[in-house]
Amino acid sequence: MFRPILFYLVVSLTAWLPSAAFAHSVWIENLPGDQLCVRFAEWGEDFEVSPGHLDSFALVSGFTLNAEGKPEIFDVVKKQDQFFLGKASAAKPAFAQAHFEVRKLHEDKPARAPIFYSRWQPEGAGEGKPTMTLDIVPTGQPGEARVFFRGKPLGGIEVGLHAPKGDEQKLVTDAEGLVRVADLSKPGPYLLTVARYSEELPGFFNGVPFAISSHSASLYWTVKKTE
């Protein structure tokens, strides 16, 4: 579906990045050989590369949960068109968190710290549990997920749906944070995103102060072709 340039939190970007990165997303994607990586691109377009906009990330980390529910950290290696998640297996749910440097595009606007949370869900993994600050969590029902923020369901929030061979659709979570993809008839990759959910939570990142913490998340999975 994608066309690599020589070269899966959740997640649209607009005002934080250069114009060339407008409407981009961050997700965990499965690779051949049961491996995983973090991608950065506008859905359906070329992957961002390094040198280039892939270098906009200040920090990328990834992990999975073991049988006791404890995190096991991945080795993250930046390559030309991805952040490769070493020791990750596409057979298990996986999680990634990506930080950009503090952004302040206008002097009269507060500085923002953009954080992106990505989740990979293998087929048959069942119901998930909130694992990241902003998390799109599968319920175990096909095409259904619940959005959590700080462990609580997030109702009335807009969710972007990116399906195979189709334009982005806008969905809205119900009062319990549930969102449902009605049509899963097309085989291929599916992506749900929540973009720029902001809170007035000031702090510092790499020594730079910010007033707004801006959270985005994604959930990526694939639907196999039926025989």
Please count the structural domains in the chain: 1
Per DSSP bridges, beta strands 112-120 and 212-223 are parallel
Query: Percentage of residues in the chain with pLDDT exceeding 70?
Result: 89
The two tokens of residue 30 are 């499965």
DSSP classification of residue 186: S
CA 103, CA 210: separation in Å to the nearest integer? 8
Establish if 110 belongs to a structural domain: yes
pLDDT tens-place string over residues 144-166: 999 999 999 999 999 999 998 77
Establish if 2 belongs to a structural domain: no
Establish if 7 belongs to a structural domain: no
Establish if 10 belongs to a structural domain: no
Establish if 54 belongs to a structural domain: yes
Please give the residue range of the domain that contains residue 150: 19-223
pTM check: above 0.85: yes
Instruction: Judge whether residue 6 has pLDDT over 60.
Output: no
The two tokens of residue 72 are 């096991």
